Amino acid sequence: MEPRFDQTQSQKTVLSPQMREYLRLLHLPVLELRKAVEAALEENPMLEEVSRSKDSEVPDASEPPRTNSEEEDPEETLPDDWAAKEPLSFSSAPSDLSRRRAEDARKVKDFQETLITKPESLFDYLEFQLRFLDLNAAEKRIGAEIIGNIDPDGYLKATTEEIAAAVKTDTTAVEEVLLKIQKLDPPGIGARNLRETLLIQLERKGTEATLAKGIIRDHFDLLGKRDWKMLAKIFCASEQEIKKAVELIGRLEPKPGRSFYSEEPIAVTPDATVSIKEGTKDGLEIEMHNDFVPELRINNEYRRMLREKNLDGKTKDFLKTRLASGMDFMKAIELRGSTLRAITEEIVRAQPLFFTRGFAYLRPLRLKDIAERLNLHESTISRAIHGKYLKTPQGTLSYKSFFSQKLETRDGEGESQKSIMERIRRLVEAEDPKKPLSDQAIVNALKDEGIQIARRTVTKYREVLKILPTPLRRAR
């Protein structure tokens, strides 16, 4: 066979270096962003930190005054091919409205103060990922029922028959949705036993796990007996190969939900604050915590060096490269702030009653809703809110807390899952301790409010809220 050249045509999306930098910074919470800025200051001599206090800046008498061109036009010293590069922006990238009036001293705070919140639960994490699966309305109900029956170790504790009966469908539909959920993180989630969770994890490792999968799937008992000789005979492999496969199995996680066990509070720094305006009952204002991240600018001394005619070519190329990367970095930070600000504004616009009245007024909201309003992709919204927190009159909450699936009500408006959970909590708090409400009684109470919900779903939400069953709540 003779070698030959074939010409093919294909389409693919290639991100520019500026866009990759923007997406990287967009993913970082405010504390991690500060570290990234400090690292950039150390690596790039073209970047320098701007002093927050303008009064402390005293001009050097020996240095000639800066002209407007020197201060405001760094791009004139960029490489010749810079103009051909793709600009760092989206077609509808929001402008940054987070700049505050200089005289508004009340808003100047020390953002290094950390606030305490609880870590994300396994249920919340799975519920959030469920929104990204390509599911229709019926499949979403099945998915929610499956997730509600996954225990803290990550195992599915209800049979497919029970889940099918709860959502009034057949077991085939349940199995199809379960297979999709088992591809979510953490690896091995949604398995019904140890063997299945190990197989799910090995499936992600590709061909290197072929032998290990065979051992788990067909000879799990011999693995327990550590009978390497028999396994080697069965698989026509050496004992060394068997032991290597067993080592791979030993590195798997037998309890996929283990990483969510911790109930210890964690310290976070919010990226923004939503507060009620002074002198109003329901007026809201947004404050972005930009002061926590150093402000950057291009170093004028190095820019002047670039204009020198006798500067050697190697040094000039190095400075031009650093100037370009420094401007990319500054533009990426600016666009990150604009994006997060726009998302915060849309959340406030969608959830005004939550901020003034509480969790019972949390409305259904999807990533898709915000993405469509800002003309961005859902993955960009997901990346922007990852690991970020918002300080509100109701406490410091993750951005993810404001997104919830919609449950239909009699009036057709719909309620969010989280607002229904809050109603359940309030019903339990107001119950007679001697005659606590059963799950069915809670179903009936919600039905009177126009909310149709299954008893099993109430049980699931009650367990998430850590509310004891009826017999254990009864006062004796």
Percent of the chain at pLDDT > 70 equals: 77
Highest mean pLDDT among 44-58, 101-115, 251-265: 251-265
Domain boundary among 260, 283, 309: 260
Question: What's the rounded mean pLDDT across residues 100-119?
Answer: 43
pLDDT of residue 173: 92
Query: Burial level of 192, CB count in 10 A (0-12/13-18/19+)?
Result: middle
Query: b/e for 160-184, b at 16 or more Cβ within 10 A?
Result: beebbebbebeeebbeebbebbbeb
- The neighbour count for residue 221, using CB atoms within 10 Å, is 8
pLDDT of residue 115: 44
Confidence band, pLDDT 50/70/90 cuts, at residue 442? confident
Is 97 or 21 the better-scoring residue by pLDDT?
A: 21
pLDDT of residue 220: 84
Domain boundary among 260, 276, 307: 260
Check whether residue 268 and residue 339 sit in a common domain.
Answer: yes
Residue 456 covered by a domain: yes
Q: Report the range of poorest mean pLDDT among 40-44, 83-87, 209-213, 237-241.
A: 83-87
Q: Report the range of poorest mean pLDDT among 92-101, 185-194, 411-420, 435-444.
A: 92-101
Tens digits of per-residue pLDDT, 143-168?
989 998 888 889 998 889 989 988 89
Does 474 score more than 50 pLDDT? yes
Give strand ranges (E) for 187-257: none
Q: What is the pTM of this model?
A: 0.52
Check whether residue 312 and residue 201 sit in a common domain.
Answer: no
Check whether residue 319 and residue 227 sit in a common domain.
Answer: no
Check whether residue 354 and residue 365 sit in a common domain.
Answer: yes
Number of structural domains (the chain) is: 3
Is 100 or 333 the better-scoring residue by pLDDT?
A: 333
Residue 97 covered by a domain: no
Check whether residue 216 and residue 308 sit in a common domain.
Answer: no
Write out the residue range of the structural domain in which residue 468 sits: 406-473
Does 404 score more than 50 pLDDT? yes
Task: Yes or no: say if 375 and 90 are a contact pair by the CB < 8 Å rule.
Answer: yes
What CA–CA distance (Å, rounded) separates 98 from 342?
9
pLDDT of residue 170: 92
pLDDT of residue 407: 59
Closest C-alpha to 287, from 23, 86, 30: 30
Check whether residue 383 and residue 293 sit in a common domain.
Answer: yes
Q: Report the range of poorest mean pLDDT among 13-22, 37-46, 333-342, 356-365.
A: 13-22
Tens digits of per-residue pLDDT, 347-370?
999 888 888 887 777 787 888 889
Percent of the chain at pLDDT > 90 equals: 12
Residue 76 covered by a domain: no
Does 26 score more than 60 pLDDT? yes
Check whether residue 298 and residue 372 sit in a common domain.
Answer: yes
CATH number (domain holding residue 413): 1.10.10.60
Check whether residue 441 and residue 387 sit in a common domain.
Answer: no
Residue 416 covered by a domain: yes
- The neighbour count for residue 322, using CB atoms within 10 Å, is 18
Question: What's the rounded mean pLDDT across residues 277-298?
Answer: 84
Confidence band, pLDDT 50/70/90 cuts, at residue 266? low
Check whether residue 399 and residue 348 sit in a common domain.
Answer: yes
Residue 83 covered by a domain: no
Check whether residue 281 and residue 232 sit in a common domain.
Answer: no
Check whether residue 245 and residue 132 sit in a common domain.
Answer: yes
Write the DSSP string, 5-58.
------------HHHHHHHHHHTS-HHHHHHHHHHHHHH-TTEEEEPS-GGG--
Residue 43 covered by a domain: yes
Confidence band, pLDDT 50/70/90 cuts, at residue 420? confident
Check whether residue 227 and residue 337 sit in a common domain.
Answer: no
Residue 8 covered by a domain: no
Q: Report the range of poorest mean pLDDT among 223-232, 263-272, 403-412.
A: 403-412
Question: What's the rounded mean pLDDT across residues 366-392?
Answer: 88
Print the SS3 string covering 285-331.
EEEECHHHCCEEEECHHHHHHHHCCCCCHHHHHHHHHHHHHHHHHHH
- The neighbour count for residue 290, using CB atoms within 10 Å, is 19
> Residue for token digits 């204002």?
285
Residue 184 covered by a domain: yes
Cis peptide before 186 (omega within 30 of 0): yes
| Alpha-carbon dihedral 219, 225, 227, 232, rounded to 10 degrees | 20
Domain boundary among 350, 375, 404: 404
